[in-house]
Copies of this chain bind each other. A is one copy, B any other.
Amino acid sequence: MNQIIKNCSIGKNTKIWDFVNLYDCEIGDECIIGTFVEIQKNVSIGDKVKISSHSFICEGVTLEDNVFIGHHVVFVNDKYPRSTNVKGELKQDGDWKLQKTIVKKNASIGSNATILGGMIIGENSLIGAGSVVTKNVAKNVVVAGNPAKIIKKLP
């Protein structure tokens, strides 16, 4: 079986490519989901969103309408990730604090960008390829670098 799709709500005319792992998420209409993409539970994706190959959308991420996600994009939702809890057991759902991120409509995330947890990416903004986003991004700007900084304002 080429696709793992479990308990997802998927809109009309949405195209999903091979070798994906999607579970417990909502995806809107007319979206494109590339190969080797994983989308976790409690992710909400609007209409006409494109998620390119190899990207990882973690729990707690919302992508509004028309958002573009490049290739190899990685979202983060845990500020202090650990394998085990203070008792030395594998961490469970109650052992960590979820950081939610929202990408506003028409924004684009360039390939291989890393988006730390708890971010707001403003409407129509563009994150340069390879950037590491450590702070909220205003609307209508281009940011790039590690850490990402504004390099241009868009009209």
Contact = CB atoms under 8 A, between A and B. Distances in A.
B74 A71 contact: yes
Contacts of A76: 70, 110-111, 129
A71 to B, nearest CB: 5
Given A145-B146, A146-B145, A72 B71 contact: no
Contacts of A126: 80-81
A83 B104 CA distance: 13
B146 A130 contact: yes
Interface string A1-15: 110100000000000
Contacts of A44: none
Contact of A114 (B1, B19, B80, B111): B111
Interface residues of A, number: 51
Nearest to A54: B56
Given A36-B38, A38-B36, A112-B74, A90 B130 contact: no
B36 A54 contact: yes
Contacts of A114: 111-112, 129-130
Given A2-B4, A72-B74, A130-B132, 7 more contacts: A19-B19, A35-B38, A58-B71, A71-B74, A76-B129, A114-B130, A146-B146
